[in-house]
Amino acid sequence: MILNIETASDICSIALSTTQGELLAIREIVETKQHAAQITLLIQACLQEAGVTMSQLSAVALSTGPGSFTSLRVGAATAKGICYALGIPLIAVDTLKSLAYQNYFTLKGNNIVYGALMDARRMEVYASMWQPNEAGELVQIEPTQPVIIDENTWLPYRANEGAKGIILALSGNGASKCGQILTGNIQLFPNIVCSAKHLIPLSATAFFQRNFVNFAYFSPDYGKNPNITISKKNL
């Protein structure tokens, strides 16, 4: 069994699945800044529902970001601790790739570009763009990067002229920012947000392929350097 951990956004989500990709249990909360307090309780609840003990886990899959600095660190610390204690491997799942695949499962088509967007405050998002190949696998066509949403953002994908019938499908908690700004061949899926259940297809494939990461050296993809402020109380 694989323990899937998603903490890249405000949602703290845990899912237990088989190595074949079957969902056994899921628990998640949407309250902000509760990851550290709730993550172990959610894990325990999933294990109890499925009648599974920690010693029966075969791997831990972790959503790697980009996303919230603090919540990603909570997820990474928890995943590393479990892997170290049980001597099991760590699977790293790109957060935006998991969102893009969920969008692909919802709306399939060879003429669709899937944009996975994570909110980065104000009118900025972390974004990556994907398109299916002939085998039905998503291929990243633009690297993950911070993007400011304006009327020219991703214009080649959604302009009526020269777009070759391409539809731009946007998912993630950053998709709602695009509705009043972007026009053209575009569909929004803001309801497709981070969830540990979205990691399952990718974690099952990675487990089958033995695609593990060294948890001793693993670090999440924060997207940007954290915005750290210094307390002025003692100044």
pLDDT by residue (tens digit) across 160-215?
A: 554 467 889 999 999 998 988 998 888 999 999 999 999 999 999 999 999 999 98
Q: Measuring CA to CA, how many Å separate 127 from each of 16, 94, 137?
A: 27, 12, 19
Whether omega for the bond prior to residue 66 falls within 30 degrees of 0, making it cis, is: yes
Angstrom distance (rounded) from CA 175 to CA 197: 20
Mean pLDDT of the chain: 90
Per residue in 53-69, pLDDT tens?
999 999 999 999 998 88
* Helices assigned H by DSSP within the chain: 35-50, 69-86, 95-106, 155-158, 200-208
Angstrom distance (rounded) from CA 19 to CA 2: 6
234 pLDDT band, cuts 50/70/90, is: low
Higher pLDDT, 32 or 86: 86
Residue 162's pLDDT is: 47
> What topology does CATH give the domain 96-189?
Nucleotidyltransferase; domain 5 (3.30.420)
Phi, psi of 66, rounded to the nearest 5 degrees = -75, 165
**Any residues with CB less than 8 A from the CB of 221 and at least 6 apart, and which?**
64, 65, 66, 72, 94, 95, 144
Answer positive or negative: Cα dihedral of 65, 71, 77, 83.
Answer: negative
Q: How do the domains of the chain map onto residue ranges?
A: 2-94+194-208, 96-189
Angstrom distance (rounded) from CA 124 to CA 89: 34
Per residue in 132-145, pLDDT tens?
998 889 999 999 99
Q: Are 2-94+194-208 and 96-189 the same fold in CATH?
A: yes
Residue 222's pLDDT is: 84
Strand order in the sheet with 12-17: 23-29, 12-17, 2-6, 59-63, 90-93
Residue type, 11: I
Does position 107 have pLDDT exceeding 90, yes or no?
yes
Between 69-78, 98-107, 223-232, the lowest mean confidence (pLDDT) is in 223-232
- DSSP assignment of 97-124: HHHHHHHHHHS--TTEEEEEEEE-STTE
CATH number of 2-94+194-208: 3.30.420.40
Phi, psi of 136, rounded to the nearest 5 degrees = 80, 15
